[in-house]
Amino acid sequence: METPLLLLGLELRCPPHLFNTHSRPSSSLSLPALSLRILTSTAATISTAVVESPATVAEAPRSKPHSNFYLKRKSAISEVQRSSDFLSSLHRLERVLKVQDLNVILRDFGISGRWQDLIQLFDWMQQHGKISVSTYSSCIKFVGAKNVSKALEIYQSIPDESTKINVYICNSILSCLVKNGKLDSCIKLFDQMKRGGLKPDVITYNTLLAGCIKVKNGYPKAIELIGELPHNGIQMDSVMYGTVLAICASNGRCEEAENFIQQMKVEGHSPNIYHYSSLLNSYSWKGDYKKADELMTEMKSIGLVPNKVMMTTLLKVYIKGGLFDRSRELLSELESAGYAENEMPYCMLMDGLSKAGKLEEARSIFDDMKGKGVKSDGYANSIMISALCRSKRFEEAKELSRDSETTYEKCDLVMLNTMLCAYCRAGEMESVMRMMKKMDEQAVIPDYNTFHILIKYFIKEKLHLLAYQTTLDMHSKGHRLEEELCSSLIYHLGKIRAPSEAFSVYNMLRYSKRTICKELHEKILHILIRGNLLKDAYIVVKDNAKMISQPTLKKFGRAFMISGNINLVNDVLKVLHGSGHKIDQVQFEIAISRYISQPDKKELLLQLLQWMPGQGYIVDSSTRNLILKNSHMFGRLLIAEILSKHHVASRPPIKSRSEPKFRST
DNA sequence: GTAGGGTTAG
């Protein structure tokens, strides 16, 4: 709910024209970026020199006594920080405190979580014109950690266009968006900033890249961003290689990860434990334990000691590679190193074993873990419940769910879903309802899985209308519907004579932009015809005629001729014919007799009769007689003229006259 | 006087 609102908010609050300024940042403002670039891209000797000089400058004042004014400012800062009514202290010390002093206080408020004070101070600084670039960047950083839209509001409130494209401020707001998982809006804003004249630096790009790590489609986006670097004169640094490697790893691109490691070595950066961790993680996708072992050897040879993350990741590789004996050994190593104090590595192994069909071995890890008193938040139980369900041991799964409910007060969505699933599979209606109530009470927002589990269960319990309601709910919450489940629901709704509900499910599926299987059109068509929802049936036919079988089209055509909306009869016939379907005589007969019984539709009858010969159709003799008998209603002359065309058309063409010769005898 | 990186079970 919050996401779309926020995204919309961004667009509303950042109309493009605000960014279309052509002002450029002053040269002094881009200096920090320049010095960073020097720091990161030059040889170690130079960078040492650059780093050392500010350090000596900073130490210099210590030998000299501080000026009176400096000491006054210092004490003013701490007075405001400690004051119970800081606004009045501020008012009193207004003349002493410089902008940078206020910034110090602002950051202090941010670090100690005094949000209200931070906002008040920021407002005060704005009102008194004591505001700088640092004020904005710090304020956005701290506010954004709690409230992104407020941070965006602050960013948008910056009156000066050139300040708005200050790289520090831009990095700060972009980082806020990334940290809140709003990569799309982040990229949008970034593009606007660039158009406004922002000169992004290495940190800007790294911030954006960090946003690509855990999103789907993050890899191509990252590659695109990396492609922009040369154009902006930016060299990748060690941190950026770390980010990029993490992206490769989370997308299973191990070859690309290897290439980046190679490239960074060539550029003179030596990989650290983070770089190696990501490379190792990239091997976990295919469970490439051979490469993982080689990597561990290389890493140790250059003196890096594997840490908890590294060893846990290695465990993941072994599990994925199906090396369960070595996984158990490694788990023991983690235990003795003190790296298995929480349930995570046990969970990984249990899950891997259960997915490999080794339920008993998973169970033994689970019991082992419980016996050791490993700290658990309930995930281990949840994995075990899933494992039991996977092996269709629903009674045990249900028992363990009960157990989890009493042991763990707090349940997250995944745990709730797992228990819900267990109760559904075991057919425990009461418990299912209890879980739903629990979710409601804890204000847990159901996800795709929750809906899927419930719908499947309701269908199983023949609560088809409830399943339908839940599907509507699922759809309205923006979740993708699954075809197989919908198809089953459509079938059952058809059976219980709920054709409009069935059609609504069909439409939700159809308009969620996916290609759906051919049989579904046919299935819904039968339901609609049986339910006499012929106008809806017509829509299905019109859009999918090519995918529907001839007998079903025929069935539809006849049903429509008999009781479909008379004004649509000609359209239906044209659509059927246009799809390549050969309309049979019976359909024309029914249509025409209906027209005759409703003289006010005579125009439609004339249109139909005029249309038929051109498509190779003629009326049969009984229909012809019927028309002639009623021709006074249409004008005898006109009817005679039209029917004469039917007569001509009824004669076989010259070519086919010779056919009987071949066919007979 | 401001901004940036790695692993994790369901």
Q: Which of A5-19, A121-135, A161-175, A559-573 has the lowest mean pLDDT?
A: A5-19
* A647 inside domain: yes
Whether the Cβ atoms of residue A179 and residue A140 lie closer than 8 Å to each other: no
pLDDT of residue A658: 38
CA-to-C1' distance for A270 and B2, Å? 29
User: Which has more pLDDT, A518 or A582?
Assistant: A582
Backbone angles phi, psi at A60, to 5 degrees: -50, -50
Give A129-144 pLDDT, tens digit per residue: 999 999 999 999 999 9
pLDDT of residue A379: 93
Give A36-63 pLDDT, tens digit per residue: 222 223 233 333 333 333 333 334 444 5
Give A519-545 pLDDT, tens digit per residue: 899 999 999 999 999 999 999 999 999
* A77 inside domain: no
* A295 inside domain: no
CA-to-C1' distance for A320 and B8, Å? 14
Whether residue A649 is predicted with pLDDT greater than 80 in this model: the reply is no
A396-405 average pLDDT score: 93
- How much of chain A exceeds pLDDT 90, in percent? 69
Whether residue A399 is predicted with pLDDT greater than 50 in this model: the reply is yes
Mean pLDDT, rounded, of chain A:
85
Whether CB of A246 is under 7 Å from strand B: the answer is: yes
* A655 inside domain: yes
Q: Assign A342 to helix, strand or coil.
A: strand
Whether CB of A277 is under 7 Å from strand B: the answer is: yes
Report chain B positions within 7 A of protein CB atoms.
1-10
Whether residue A1 is predicted with pLDDT greater than 50 in this model: the reply is no
| Domain boundaries, position A613 | 584-665
User: Residue A638: which pLDDT band, with cuts at 50, 70 and 90?
Assistant: confident
Nearest nucleotide to A350 (CA to C1') is: B9
Query: Residue A217, by phi and psi: left (phi above 0), alpha (psi -120 to 50) or beta?
Result: left
CA-to-C1' distance for A634 and B6, Å? 84
CA-to-C1' distance for A99 and B10, Å? 50
* A416 inside domain: no
Whether the Cβ atoms of residue A287 and residue A319 lie closer than 8 Å to each other: yes
Whether residue A8 is predicted with pLDDT greater than 90 in this model: the reply is no
pLDDT of residue A637: 84
* Sequential DSSP letters for A419-463: HHHHHHHHT-HHHHHHHHHHHHHTTPPP-HHHHHHHHHHHHHTT-
* A596 inside domain: yes
pLDDT of residue A511: 84
User: Residue A169: which pLDDT band, with cuts at 50, 70 and 90?
Assistant: very high
* A190 inside domain: no
A188-200 average pLDDT score: 93
Nearest nucleotide to A206 (CA to C1') is: B4
Whole-number Å distance between alpha carbons of A30 and A233? 13
pLDDT of residue A643: 87
Residue of least CA–C1' distance to B7 = A309
Q: What share of chain A is helix, strand, coil (3-state, %, to 5)?
A: 75, 0, 25
A572-578 average pLDDT score: 96
Whether residue A117 is predicted with pLDDT greater than 60 in this model: the reply is yes
Q: Which of A184-193, A416-425, A443-452, A514-523 has the lowest mean pLDDT?
A: A514-523
CA-to-C1' distance for A212 and B6, Å? 14
pLDDT of residue A63: 53
Whether CB of A327 is under 7 Å from strand B: the answer is: no
Please count the structural domains in chain A: 1
Whole-number Å distance between alpha carbons of A223 and A41? 21
Strand B near-CB residues (< 7 Å), A 408-467: 412-415, 418
- How much of chain A exceeds pLDDT 70, in percent? 87
* A129 inside domain: no
Nearest nucleotide to A377 (CA to C1') is: B9
Whole-number Å distance between alpha carbons of A263 and A283? 18
pLDDT of residue A518: 85
Whether CB of A523 is under 7 Å from strand B: the answer is: no
Please name the amino acid found at residue A491. Y
Residue of least CA–C1' distance to B9 = A347
Whether CB of A40 is under 7 Å from strand B: the answer is: yes
Q: Assign A84 to helix, strand or coil.
A: coil
pLDDT of residue A645: 84
pLDDT of residue A599: 87
Whether residue A223 is predicted with pLDDT greater than 50 in this model: the reply is yes
